Amino acid sequence: VPAGGTLVTFAFDSATNITTISQEQPPVAEPALGDGQFVAQRIVHDSRDDRYRTPFGAVPVGSAVTLRLRTAANDVEGVTLIVTDLSTGVDRPLPMQPAGVEDGDQWWAATLQTTQQPTVWNYKFRLQDGAEVLFHADDGRLDGGPGVSLAAGPGADGGWDIYAYVP
């Protein structure tokens, strides 16, 4: 199945009884700060990859977890990591900092310091460019791994989870 937004055309030639399928990728926006457009194909976070989440997996209470997001360079003006303590429902917005440019992509990073209480922390990203906002969260399966970009913020448990436990 092609990526979302791809134009797929099916054609049938009745003279030869041959079906052809073609696909055309949607145009990719050029990155520009403040234009209110996002190069969504270049927004990446994969909760199973230690380039994006360190340490991986459940963590002892009181641990620091560094989370990273990748965007096209010169495309996004700011990123906020939104962390929700699922035991209390309280959101904790953490501004992310630019953390370097690599191969035309801007890396953003923030570190969550977990509390001394065992809980599940749910996180997602809020991106800002000009007057526009885009969210990046776990996909609809909520099984971790790569995420999806969304025009509206996901629910309280719509992001990825970090389990903090008492060792």
Share of the chain above pLDDT 70, in %: 94
| DSSP H helices in the chain | none
1 pLDDT exceeds 50?
A: no
| DSSP H helices in 29-98 | none
Rounded Cα gap, residues 83 and 81, in angstroms: 6
What are the structure tokens assigned to 59, written together? Answer: 């963590």
Given the DSSP bridges, would you call strands 160-165 and 59-60 parallel, antiparallel or unpaired? parallel
The whole-number average pLDDT for the span 1-8 is: 63
What are the structure tokens assigned to 55, written together? Answer: 């340490």
Sheet of 64-72, strands arranged across: 53-54, 64-72, 105-113, 97-102
pLDDT digits (tens, 9 = 90+) for 110-167: 999 999 999 999 999 999 999 999 999 998 777 788 888 998 888 777 899 999 999 9
Q: What is the DSSP letter of 40?
A: G
The whole-number average pLDDT for the span 72-93 is: 95
